[in-house]
Amino acid sequence: MEYRAVVPDQEYWRRQIKCQYACPVHTDARGYIRAIAEGDYERAYLIARGPNPLASICGRVCGAPCEVACRRRNIDEPISIRALKRFVTDVFGGRWRPAGEFPEDACDGLDEMVQMARFLASREYRRPEGKRVAIIGSGPAGLAAAHDLALLGFRPVVFEMEPVPAGMLYTGIPAYRLPRELIDAEIELVRALGVEFRCGVKVGRDVSLAALRRDFAAVIIAVGAKRARMLALPGGDAEGIVGGVDFLRAASLGEPVRLGLRVIVIGGGNVAYDVSRSALRHSNPGEDDAARLVDRQTESDVSRIALRQPGVREVNLVCLESREEMPADEVEIIEGEEEGIRRHNRLGPKEFLYRTEGGRKRVTGVRFRRVLSVFDENGRFSPVYDDNDIVEMTADTVLLSVGQVPDLTFLEADGEVQLKSPWQIQSSLETLETTAEGVFVAGDVAYGAKLIIDAVASGKKAARSVYAYLTGTEIRTDETQLHFEIEGYRRETGYERRHRLAVPALGASERLADARALVEKGYTETQARAEAGRCLDCGVNTIFDGERCILCGGCVDVCPTLCLKLVGIEELEPSPEIESLLQRLEVQAGWSAVIKDEDRCIRCALCAQRCPTHAITMERFQFREEYHPCTSTVGEAVAVS
Per-residue pLDDT tens over the stretch 312-321: 489 999 999 9
Cα–Cα distance, 68 to 10 (Å, whole number) = 23
Domain-embedded: residue 315: yes
- pLDDT one-digit tens code per residue, 597-637: 999 999 999 999 999 999 999 999 988 878 877 877 666 54
265, pLDDT greater than 60:
yes
pLDDT of res. 93: 61
Per-residue pLDDT band for 527 (boundaries 50, 70, 90) equals very high
Domain-embedded: residue 77: no
pLDDT of res. 113: 64
Per-residue pLDDT band for 285 (boundaries 50, 70, 90) equals low
Structural domains counted in the chain? 2
- Of the three residues 424, 453, 471, the one that is the final residue of a domain is 471
Please give the distance of CA 310 from its chain centroid, rounded to a whole number: 36
403, pLDDT greater than 90:
yes
37, pLDDT greater than 70:
yes
Mean per-residue pLDDT over the chain, rounded: 89
- Of the three residues 471, 491, 512, the one that is the final residue of a domain is 471
3-class SS at 273? helix
120-129, 369-378, 558-567: range with lowest mean pLDDT? 120-129
- pLDDT one-digit tens code per residue, 346-382: 999 999 999 998 899 999 999 999 999 999 999 999 9
pLDDT of res. 103: 42
Across 371-380, 411-420, 574-583, which has the greatest mean pLDDT? 371-380
pLDDT of res. 289: 40
182 and 263, same domain (yes or no)? no
% pLDDT > 70, the chain: 90
241 and 365, same domain (yes or no)? yes
Helix (H) or strand (E) holding 350: strand 347-357
150 and 181, same domain (yes or no)? yes
267 and 373, same domain (yes or no)? yes
Mean pLDDT on 308-328? 83
Sequence-distant (6+) residues with CB within 8 A of 289 are 310, 311
Domain-embedded: residue 50: no
The domain containing residue 162 runs over which residues? 127-226+406-471
Is residue 165 classed exposed, middle or buried when 0-12, 13-18 and 19+ CB atoms within 10 A define those classes? buried
% pLDDT > 90, the chain: 74
382 and 458, same domain (yes or no)? no
Sign, CA dihedral 449-451-456-458, equals negative
Domain-embedded: residue 73: no
373 and 411, same domain (yes or no)? no
97-101, 157-161, 284-288, 497-501: range with lowest mean pLDDT? 97-101
105-109, 325-329, 525-529, 554-558: range with lowest mean pLDDT? 105-109
pLDDT of res. 114: 66
Per-residue pLDDT band for 306 (boundaries 50, 70, 90) equals very low
Q: What is the CATH number of the domain that holds 280?
A: 3.50.50.60
pLDDT of res. 629: 79
- Of the three residues 423, 441, 471, the one that is the final residue of a domain is 471
Q: What is the pTM of this model?
A: 0.89
Sequence-distant (6+) residues with CB within 8 A of 23 are 29, 65, 66, 453
190 and 253, same domain (yes or no)? no
111, pLDDT greater than 90:
no
pLDDT of res. 296: 33
302, pLDDT greater than 60:
no
294, pLDDT greater than 80:
no
Domain-embedded: residue 600: no
389 and 430, same domain (yes or no)? no
Domain-embedded: residue 109: no
pLDDT of res. 68: 96
pLDDT of res. 639: 38
Cα–Cα distance, 562 to 556 (Å, whole number) = 7
250 and 261, same domain (yes or no)? yes
Q: Do 474 and 461 touch, CB atoms closer than 8 A?
A: no
Mean pLDDT on 553-557? 95
427 and 412, same domain (yes or no)? yes
410 and 382, same domain (yes or no)? no
Q: Which residues lie across from 421 on neighbouring strands?
A: 424
254 and 336, same domain (yes or no)? yes
pLDDT of res. 640: 39
β-strand pairing of 540-544 with 564-568: unpaired
Domain-embedded: residue 393: yes
Domain-embedded: residue 620: no
